[in-house]
Amino acid sequence: MTKKRIGILTSGGDCAGLNAVIRAVVHRADLLGWEVVGILNGTAGLLKDPPDCRVLDPNDFGGTVMRLGGTILGTTNKGNPFAFPMADGSTKDLTDEIIKGFKSLALDAVIGIGGDGSFAILNKLAQQGGLNLVGIPKTIDNDLGMTDMSVGFDTAVSVATEALDRLQPTAASHDRVMLLEVMGRDAGHIALSAGIAGGADVILIPEVPYSIESIAEKIKAVKEGGRNFALVVVSEAVKTPEGENLEVVYHGGETRYGGIGHYLGSQIAESTGFETRVTVLGHVQRGCPPTYNDRVLASAFGVKAVDLIKEGRFGRMVAWQNRQVVDVAIEDAIAAYQQVDLESTLVHTARALGISLGDK
Ligand code: F6P
pLDDT at position 102 is: 96
Residue whose C-alpha is closest to residue 58's, from 23, 94, 107: 23
DSSP code per residue over 195-213: HHHTT-SEEE-TTS-B-HH
pLDDT at position 319 is: 98
Rg (CA), the chain: 22
Say how many C-beta atoms besides its own lie within 10 A of residue 357's C-beta.
24
CATH number of 5-151+290-321: 3.40.50.450
Residue nearest to atom 8 of ligand 1 (CA): 185
Distance 310 CA to ligand 1 centre (A): 33
Tell me, which fold does domain 155-286+342-352 have in CATH? Rossmann fold (3.40.50)
Closest ligand 1 atom to residue 254 Cα is 15
Query: In one letter, which amino acid is 281?
Result: L
Query: What is the set of active-site residues?
Result: 141
- 76 in Cβ contact with 11 (< 8 Å): yes
Q: Which of 141, 246, 260 has the most ligand 1 atoms within 8 A of CB, as the residue to mutate?
A: 141
| Domain boundaries along the sequence of the chain | 5-151+290-321, 155-286+342-352
Euclidean distance between CA atoms 334 and 123, whole angstroms: 10
pTM for the full predicted model? 0.97
pLDDT at position 197 is: 99
Euclidean distance between CA atoms 26 and 303, whole angstroms: 9
Euclidean distance between CA atoms 59 and 108, whole angstroms: 23
Say how many C-beta atoms besides its own lie within 10 A of residue 52's C-beta.
17
pLDDT at position 320 is: 98
Quote helix, strand, coil % in the chain, to nearest 5: 40, 20, 40
Distance 13 CA to ligand 1 centre (A): 6
Phi and psi at residue 135, in whole multiples of 5°? -110, 145
pLDDT at position 253 is: 87
- The residues pairing with 112 across neighbouring beta strands, listed in sequence order, are 9, 135
pLDDT at position 1 is: 61
Domain pair 5-151+290-321 / 155-286+342-352, same fold? yes
pLDDT at position 18 is: 98
- 153 in Cβ contact with 18 (< 8 Å): no
Residue 118: exposure state from Cβ atoms within 10 A (0-12, 13-18, ≥19): buried
SS3 309: helix
- Cβ of residue 257 lying under 6 Å from some atom of ligand 1: yes
pLDDT at position 331 is: 97
Low-confidence residues of the chain: pLDDT under 70: 1
SS3 89: coil
